[in-house]
Amino acid sequence: MSLLTETRKLIVPPRATRGPSPLARAAVPPPAPGAVPGLGHAGALLRDPLGFLGSLARHGGVVRIRLGPRTVCVVTDARLVHTLLVALAHDCPRGAVQDTLRTAFGDGLLMSEGQAHRDRRRIIQPAFGPDRMGEYLAVMQQVAEERAGRWRPGQVLDVAKEMNHLALEIVTRSLFDARLSEDATVAFHRALPDLVKGQIVQSLYPNPALARLPLPVNRRFDDAVRVLNRVVDQAVNGRTATATAEEGRRTLPALLRAATDPGTGCPLTEADVRSEAITMFGAGTETVSTTLTWLLDELLRHPEVEARILAELDEHLPAGSVPTPEALARLTYTRSVTQEVVRLHAPNAFLMRTAQVPVELGPYRIPAGTELLYSLTALHRDPVRYPEPMSFRPERWQDGGGTGRPSFLPFGAGKHKCIGEAFAWAELTVAAATILRRWRPVAVPGARAREVVWTTVQAQGLRVRLAPRGARSPRGGAAAASREGDATSSPEGTAPSSPAEPPPGRCPFTGATGATAPAAPPAATAEAGPRPPRDLRLAADRHADWALRRGLLTPAELPRYRAYALHELIGHAFPRARGAELDLLVDVLGWFTILDDCFDGSPGRHPAEARALVDPLIAVLDGARGTIPSESRLLLSWRELWKRQTASMSPEWRARAAREWRACLATFPAEADHRSRGTVPALGLDLTDTMRLRRHGSCLYPFMNILERVHGADAPAAMHAEPALHRLRANTADAATLINDLYSLKREERQAGAAFNTVLTLQRAHGCTRGRAVHAVRTRVVRLRQESEELRRELLHRHPAGRWYLDGTRELVAGVQAWTSTSDRYLVPDRGPRR
Please report how many Cα atoms fall inside a 13 Å half-sphere around the Cα of residue 813, on the Cβ side.
Answer: 34
Whether residue 158 contacts residue 448, with contact meaning beta carbons closer than 8 Å, is answered with: no
Spatial distance between the Cα atoms of 788 and 768, rounded to a whole number of angstroms: 27
SS3 content of the chain, % helix, strand, coil (to 5): 60, 5, 35
Q: Provide the pLDDT for residue 661.
A: 92
Spatial distance between the Cα atoms of 177 and 511, rounded to a whole number of angstroms: 58
Spatial distance between the Cα atoms of 743 and 499, rounded to a whole number of angstroms: 8
Whether residue 489 contacts residue 812, with contact meaning beta carbons closer than 8 Å, is answered with: no
Alpha helices in 28-113 (DSSP H): 42-47, 49-55, 78-85, 96-105
Secondary structure class of 451 (helix, strand, coil): strand
Q: Provide the pLDDT for residue 98.
A: 64
Exposed, middle or buried: residue 620 (CB in 10 Å: 0-12, 13-18, 19+)? Answer: buried
Please list, in sequence order, all residues whose beta carbon lies within 8 angstroms of the beta carbon of residue 312, skipping any fewer than 6 positions away.
Answer: 331, 332, 333, 334
Whether residue 517 contacts residue 787, with contact meaning beta carbons closer than 8 Å, is answered with: no
C-alpha triplet 728, 732, 733: angle, nearest 5°: 120
Tally of CB atoms within 10 A around 384: 16
Q: Provide the pLDDT for residue 28.
A: 85
Between the CA of residue 11 and those of 30, 54, 346, what are the distances in Å?
20, 5, 13
Spatial distance between the Cα atoms of 725 and 297, rounded to a whole number of angstroms: 43
**Strand 359-361 vs strand 364-366: parallel, antiparallel, or unpaired?**
antiparallel
Spatial distance between the Cα atoms of 598 and 605, rounded to a whole number of angstroms: 11
Spatial distance between the Cα atoms of 47 and 665, rounded to a whole number of angstroms: 63
Tally of CB atoms within 10 A around 754: 20
Q: Each residue of 584-604: pLDDT tens digit?
A: 999 999 999 999 888 878 888
Spatial distance between the Cα atoms of 817 and 481, rounded to a whole number of angstroms: 10
C-alpha triplet 223, 225, 229: angle, nearest 5°: 120
Q: How many residues does the chain have?
A: 835
Exposed, middle or buried: residue 330 (CB in 10 Å: 0-12, 13-18, 19+)? Answer: middle
Nearest in space to 736 (alpha carbons), one of 618, 504, 569, 567: 569
Whether residue 783 contacts residue 545, with contact meaning beta carbons closer than 8 Å, is answered with: no
Between the CA of residue 539 and those of 188, 546, 823, what are the distances in Å?
33, 10, 17
Tally of CB atoms within 10 A around 151: 17
C-alpha triplet 278, 283, 284: angle, nearest 5°: 95
Q: What is the mean pLDDT of each run of 10 residues along the chain (835 residues)?
A: 40 47 62 91 88 91 91 94 91 74 68 81 87 90 92 92 92 87 78 74 72 83 84 71 44 85 81 82 84 94 90 87 90 94 88 92 92 92 88 84 67 86 93 93 86 81 87 32 30 36 40 36 38 83 90 87 88 88 93 88 86 91 61 86 89 90 88 74 52 71 90 87 91 86 69 63 73 82 89 92 92 85 57 36
Spatial distance between the Cα atoms of 276 and 251, rounded to a whole number of angstroms: 13
Q: Provide the pLDDT for residue 560.
A: 83
Q: Provide the pLDDT for residue 744.
A: 73
The pTM for the full model equals 0.55
Q: Each residue of 483-540: pLDDT tens digit?
A: 233 322 333 333 333 333 333 344 444 344 433 333 333 333 333 445 777 888 889 9
**Alpha-carbon torsion, ordered 538, 544, 548, 551, to 10 deg:** 130
Query: The sheet that has 463-468: what strands, in order across it?
Result: 156-158, 463-468, 439-443
Q: State which amino acid sits at residue 120.
A: R
Q: Enumerate the β-bridge partners of residue 36.
A: 40
Whether residue 593 contacts residue 568, with contact meaning beta carbons closer than 8 Å, is answered with: no
